A = this chain, B = another copy of it.
Amino acid sequence: MKKQRIAIDMDDVMADANGRFREILLDRLRVDCTEHLLMPEFSWQRAFPEHYQTIHSWTYESGFFAGMKVMPDAQEVIQKLMEKYEIFVVSAAVEFPLSMQEKVEWLKIHFPFIDWRFLVFCGHKYMIKADYLIDDHLKNIAAFTEGTPLLFTAAHNRHIEGYTRVNNWREVEQLLL
């Protein structure tokens, strides 16, 4: 039987993007944003309007993506998922052209069991044919109408309702395995 396919987003799903911002914010601006990340309807823009331009500019810096930590249990659970499902990593990275090379490298280092042929960089994600999409962004989840979208909890999406939510990789494991 043909395996079902899961499309998995990278930032804030496989890689701790918000954690990377928090780390640099503390390091460069001496701001501890642990509490801010618990704000309802959190966004970096809403939490730090005065620093937003600066924070946003970090995403264009060399090393920003390379330095991201792996989300807890992502490696183990994704490797298990691969026994039962076909996995594609789908990242909206074309917006940040410099990041793509770093993301290829990051995946090689942290997920060496995922072949580069299963990595997709795009803008829109609605043209990806998959049975599941695991993503933290409402726009991707809402546009994914031909499969089952799973909203991966992140500081910026806790307020969103109406979608199946997974709070961490253990919950993905429970749901799909």
Contacts and interface: CB of A to CB of B under 8 A. Distances in A.
Contact of A121 (B122, B128, B129, B130): B122
Contact of A97 (B88, B95, B101, B128): B101
A93 B168 CA distance: 31
Interface residues of A, number: 26
User: Taking chain A's interface residues, is the majority helix, strand, or loop, or is none over half, making it mixed?
Assistant: mixed
B117 A123 contact: yes
A7 B97 CA distance: 21
Nearest to A120: B122
Contacts of A129: 127-129, 146
13 contacts: A94-B104, A94-B117, A100-B101, A100-B121, A116-B123, A117-B123, A117-B124, A118-B124, A121-B121, A122-B122, A127-B130, A128-B128, A129-B146
Interface of A: 5, 7, 88, 94-95, 97-98, 100-101, 104-105, 115-124, 127-130, 146
